[in-house]
Structure 1
Amino acid sequence: MTETATQSERAAAADARVDAAEIAKFEAMAAEWWDPEGKFKPLHMLNPCRLDYVIAQIAATHGRDPDAPRPFEGLRILDIGCGGGLLCEPMARLGAQVTGIDPAPRNIPVAALHARQSGLDIDYRVTTAEAMAAEGDRFDAVLNMEVVEHVPDPRAYLRACAELVAPGCCMITSTINRNARSFAVAILGAEYVMRWLPKGTHDWRKFITPSELEGLLAAAGLQPVDATGFVFNPIAWSWRLSGRDLSVNYVTTALKPA
């Protein structure tokens, strides 16, 4: 069997692991990615908080000054499950060479069009982390935000994601904790009371606790170095970072040994 055939078969196997129902959910909302008052309003509200964390962690990993005009110049950053490009575009503005991937075909044209309108050069592809890993590509930082709770096999998925991280570099992963509070907030609150998200967007059974995620990352060959919560304040109507409250939304940074 040739190496090319082996890679092709690995990519095909990866495609078979993609949850078609999860892709269809987000593809149905593709045109609304850049509407701050649309179905992705919660993500637009969270995005500044996510960016603060992502920028700080990538800067710390690579010894960059986050206050410099283009602190990520020369870095290759991959955004897995990029959607409409809400994280890709800020990374590109910070000087990074950005690749955004998403298995939902309708998301990528939306992201690519918005990038062109913004004067940004971003490499968008309809593909999966597993297929990218089979191709042998490596990145200085991998963003893996709000994806792992939607995949059918988190262990296999994170193993593939870890392959995409270059030695000495980082992967940043955010997801939702699994407990009574997360069910009340992320399911009942966000989908049924506030109607921020369509009903059925999340499956509470797929949520992952911080200790479970730490174990999965370690099993994939990464070293978890940080865990921080994203906490929503309903009075201020804003999000903040918390080093102590990981009860609902949270994010981790893990390094690949050099």
Structure 2
Amino acid sequence: MCVSAGSGPCADPAAGVDVAGVDLSESGIALARRTHPGVGFEVASVTDNLTSLFERRFDAVTSLEVVEHLYDPRAYVAALFDVLEPGGTVIMTTPYHGYLTNPALAAAGQLDDHFTVLWDGGHIKFWLRRTLSVLLTEAGFEDVRFRGGGRLPWLWKSMILSARKPA
């Protein structure tokens, strides 16, 4: 089973995969329901009690480009932890902000564009590998793993983390 937080991909329920999804966007959920009828898509916050919403737990959760938009990331990872079966896996992505990225952006004259405060509803938190790992381990996750994606090593565009709920 898999629950997709945000705009993550959905599997075909006919293939034996039980999929559900949440998003705050009513129009996004309406589009997902039209595109994938039979999948349980709900308008909800990723910090809601997802276990009660779906009346079950899942083996895996994908959350793509969500955590950087949240005011309360601890409530978010607590909700992800709760909706997972023991031994379940969370896979999440967020823009990569490493120690070399910001000087490279500044040298290229892109720092103001990247960190603009004029983007309504944009990124409100900027994560490093260490801080996102701390967030997940504080919530009880273990075996936190990291990969970079896009662009050059250590200047990646995104970081991909996976972690496991203890069995």
TM-score, normalised to structure 1, is 0.53
Aligned equivalents of 1:97, 1:181: Cα separation in 2: 38
**Partner in structure 2 of residue 184 of structure 1:** 105
Deviations 1:21-50 (A, max 9, x none): xxxxxxxxxxxxxxxxxxxxxxxxxxxxxx
**Partner in structure 1 of residue 9 of structure 2:** 87
**Partner in structure 2 of residue 99 of structure 1:** 20
Displacement, 1:220? 0.5
- Segments of 5+ residues of structure 1 without an aligned counterpart are 1-75, 194-198, 234-243
1:250 and 2:159 are equivalent in the alignment: yes
In 2 relative to 1, CA 220–246 (structure 1 residues): closer, same or farther, beyond 3 Å? farther
Given that 1:79 and 1:142 are in contact with CA atoms closer than 8 Å, whether structure 2 keeps it comes out as yes
Larger Rg: 1
Alignment of 1:44-59 (within 5 A): none
Identity of aligned residues (%): 28
Q: What amino acid is the match of 1:222?
A: F
Q: What amino acid is the match of 1:156?
A: A
Aligned equivalents of 2:155, 2:16: Cα separation in 1: 31
**Partner in structure 2 of residue 159 of structure 1:** 78
**Partner in structure 2 of residue 64 of structure 1:** none
Which of 1 and 2 has higher RCO (CA within 8 Å, sep 6+)?
2
**Which has the larger share of helix?**
1
TM-score, normalised to structure 2, is 0.78
**Partner in structure 2 of residue 126 of structure 1:** 43
Displacement, 1:130? 2.7
Alignment of 1:139-154 (within 5 A): 139-154=58-73
Alignment size in residue pairs: 155
Q: What amino acid is the match of 1:170?
A: T
**Which has the larger share of strand?**
2
Aligned equivalents of 2:144, 2:72: Cα separation in 1: 23
Aligned equivalents of 1:134, 1:98: Cα separation in 2: 13
